[in-house]
Every structure is written in structure tokens, then in C-alpha cells.
Amino acid sequence: MSEPRPGARPVLVTVADLLATPGRRRELTGRRVLEDLAVGGGAIAEDAVDLQLTLEAQAGRIICSGEVHARWELECRRCLGPVLVPVAPEVTEVFEPAPAEGETFPLEGEVVDLAPMLREVVLLTLPLAPICDESCGGPAGGSYYGEPAAEEGEAPGVRRDPRWAALDDFRP
Ligand SMILES: [Zn+2]
């Protein structure tokens, strides 16, 4: 687990009441704004995540479960136009006083900072090959990869990697 960046905006939640009453659950909903919700090629719209979480204390630990809703702002890989991709990863994460590296998150006293967990689960949902529409044919006025010509001997429906096109010149 990475250390929070200096100045990174936390999402602090006090859980004293839960720790005092094991088994008690508390809903945690609403919008939170995080920082650094971007990776190469995309960013989360408005840096905002909408929480539908439940917090519960179990044996001195806090279990956080539910869904996190967010929207990726990406470029269509075919036409490079804007694409908005909603994601809603399910989370079941544990916060504890002595967190296991990479597996659980810290519970410091009676407070948890949800920001590192939220950032992690949301960034993991980055779509690898966003397209604006299944029928997107590439940039307007021209085809990015050329027409998907059906070649002899090639199984229909197999998408050829355009990088292989350069090798076609060497075919006998
Ligand atoms: Zn497109």
C-alpha cells in the first residue's frame, strides 16, 4: 500500500460509535472528491466518487463494503472522441490497527481515511479499450485502421493487430 501523498485530500470517517458497538452497521453514502484520480489516458470525471458503503466493526477492525460509483473520462481508441464510462466496483475492505501491507488499510485510533482505498479500487477499473460506440468506425472522414478487409485464409471475425500490417509487405 502506498503512503498518502503529502497534502492528499483525506476522506476521514470517525468510527468510535462502531468500535463501541460491534455488529452495528452504518451507511456511508454521498459524493466525495478525491485527488489524483487520473492515470495515463484517462481521468475520473470531476475527481468525484459516489459512495454506497456500509461500515461495521468486527473484532476491533472496520469492515467497509458496498459499491463506489464513478465515471471515467477517456478517449475512444478508434476515433479519439470523448468517452464517458461509468464504473461501480464492489468493495469489501478491512481497516485495522496493524494493516497488512497491500491487503488491509490502517485504522488510526477511531478514524479511518477512506481516500487511499477509494483511489485504489477506482483506478483498478480503468477500461483498457474504451470505444464511444460499438459501431464507431474511426475518425469522421477517414478510417483509422483502414477497412477490415477479409483476407483469404483468415478466420472471419478475427481482429488483426494493425501493427502486423507492416509485415504484409514481406509476404511472398
Ligand atoms: Zn469512437
Residue 50 domain-assigned (yes or no): yes
Protein residues within 5 Å, CB atom, of ion ligand 1: 76, 78-79, 81, 132, 136
CA 17, 47, 45, 81 dihedral sign is negative
Rounded CA gap, 137 and 115, in Å? 39
CA of 56 to the centre of ligand 1 (A): 43
Q: Are 4 and 115 in contact (CB under 8 A)?
A: yes
CA of 128 to the centre of ligand 1 (A): 14
Q: Output the nine-digit C-alpha cell for 144.
A: 483509422
Residue 27 domain-assigned (yes or no): yes
How many domains does the structure of the chain reveal? 1
Domain that holds residue 25: 12-123
Residue 131 domain-assigned (yes or no): no
CA of 129 to the centre of ligand 1 (A): 11
CA of 157 to the centre of ligand 1 (A): 19
CA of 45 to the centre of ligand 1 (A): 19
Residue 60 domain-assigned (yes or no): yes
Per-residue confidence in pLDDT tens, the chain, 172 aa: 455 555 578 999 999 999 999 889 999 999 999 987 888 779 999 999 999 999 999 999 999 999 999 999 999 999 999 999 999 999 999 999 999 999 999 999 999 999 999 999 999 999 988 999 999 988 865 544 544 544 444 444 445 555 555 555 555 5
Residue 132 domain-assigned (yes or no): no
Rounded CA gap, 148 and 30, in Å? 46
In eight-state DSSP terms, residue 120 is H
Q: Which residues, at least 6 apart from 38, have a Cβ–Cβ distance to it below 8 Å?
A: 44
Residue 103 domain-assigned (yes or no): yes
CA of 151 to the centre of ligand 1 (A): 25
Q: What is the pLDDT of residue 35?
A: 86
Residue 57 domain-assigned (yes or no): yes
pTM for the full model?
Answer: 0.74
